[in-house]
Structure 1
Amino acid sequence: MVNQVPFNSNDQLCDSLVVSRQVVNGQVERQRTPTEKPVNKEVSKQYLPGEPRLQLHDRTIGEALKSELLTEDLDKLSPNLWLVAKQDSAHISSLTDQVVRGRKIIVTEKPGLHLVWHYDRIFVKPIPKYLLSHAFWEFYLISDASPIELASRNRLFRAASGFLRSYNHLIRHRSDFALAMKDDHRLLPKNTKYGKFINFIKSFEAIEDSAVSPRYRFGELRLSRLNFWSKVFLFRFTYEKAEKQYGAYFNRFFAPILFLFGVFSVLLSAMQVILAVQTLVETGESWVTFVSVSQRFSVFTIVFVAVVILFLLFLLVIMSSREVIFALRDLYRRSRSRV
């Protein structure tokens, strides 16, 4: 049962929300920060910090927060996510390590794409400002006075906890923080200070996997594998389209098609040589040596191509088997630890 905010109110990075104790069960409201000019009550901010679309007392705010925080498809896939990624919630590279790996940081507002990577891109969802507020957690995700029903509050609490815990791995050093604050892919609210952010995010470091959404019990996820297994477990053609244009989609098939075309061309050419030199034997003994060399070289070519193909298939089986064996071993170890 969720009963307390993961961080101390002294460590919050957004203090523009307060829970009023003047009414029964409390009520959330905006307060003016020292940097804001006084405004009339009629025109004061009545929305969640950083989200003008989400009004404080909107009875449907729970549904809006679900679309912002929940990862329902990945939660459904969670029993089989070991086929997609390492079963380790800490398997998340810092932002600087992402750059070292040649990945470009792409900002997304879809919670289901957070920490999903595809070749040279990784998708990262920025931290909503309201998640940095102690009052938000206290009123909307814990209090019985919240307009959100209990079951949804618990799901949102676990999703928000797992989401913020992932940032404890993304931002480990000041250089990571500097990348997160860049204007072209800002992941943190403006005017966030490094020291204060570290004090805040460290509160999520000790959160156990059992206290977060099933998706956040895993770290980074590979989009190509998600797209493959979504066909099997979600009965969808793709989890997320990697290419939005048909040209880019079909381009990835050109290389394997050309490879197969080259293999078959070599094999057919070698077979044609074997058949063609047979006719030279009848013309005289002067061609016997040439015919023998041609036949042997053609056979060697066929065998060589077959060996290369078998070797590549062998490598594919070995690499796939290693990942499956590692995943099964980790799954077994985790199941034993729960007993």
Structure 2
Amino acid sequence: MIVQLRICVPGELSGIVVESCESQVGVAEIALQKGASVMPAGDVVQIMLARESVEGLVEKLHALDVQKRGSISVIMPDLVLSDRADKAEAAAPGQGADAVIWDEVSRQTGEDSRLTWSFLAFLILATQLAAIGIVTDSTIAIVGAMAVGPEFGPLAALAVALVRRERRLGRDAALALGIGFPVAMLAAALTAWLSVPLGLFPRDALDHGSAVEFIYHPGPYSLIVAVLAGMAGMLSVISRRSAALIGVFISVTTVPAAGYVAVALVLGEYQKAAGSALQLFLNLLGIVVAAVGVLLFYRLVTKRLSPDAALQLRRRAVRPQR
């Protein structure tokens, strides 16, 4: 997999940037356009390289503070026909599908973790679907609610924030979860409270829901499934395989558990509400812990730029360029 980097950099830094690119294994092409950038004024460097080499080069560029003095854009071309690119991929260590671009992971999870109106709308709709499935004993509706729920985004962002110590990302994720679930549960409870007098479902509806007993009966497999789902979800984020997330969504009972808590509280089934709340907690905890584990593993096996090498690059950058 070939990736294109576009680097906008001040003229006095372009020389050391090009040298850093030339020394990076897996680079296929380097193009330098002097004075091509108008705002900010400077040069534009374009690089074609193997995906597994991107993180190493980006680390060097961060050491040069390129992201502060200019910009770094990462582009994923759909098709690259080049013998040099093929040789660069073969020379780069590892596999492109296993490569992690940490800034990409942080940005992607950050976009999915914010408390927005669309996030609230999807979570409310998913919880409503789950509540309907619970009172009608419909497994299909519950599975549909799992697929609609958007909660994995903030959970993945929370894991990234814990591993990379990004407080702002963790705060946004915690805010989305901390406000989103209570609001969605309150909306489901209000709907259930209005539905009972209208005769849409009887007060003993939870006593006959044999198909949904798994929601309020947490056990060891509740945590095991959540851990497996968290690992699969984070792997899908890292490898950019969004289709795998659908399987993650429909394997954990976060949204159904939230809907069950709301309905059970309205109907006075406090023991079942407590069991559902525990199920929700175990699922959220298991997903985050597993995602953190996956990120720590990838961070361990990914080669990082040493502090001494970063300092050496900075010193070279401040020297006058000939």
TM-score, length-normalised on structure 1?
0.24
Bigger share in helix: 2
Q: Which has the larger radius of gyration?
A: 1
TM-score, length-normalised on structure 2?
0.25
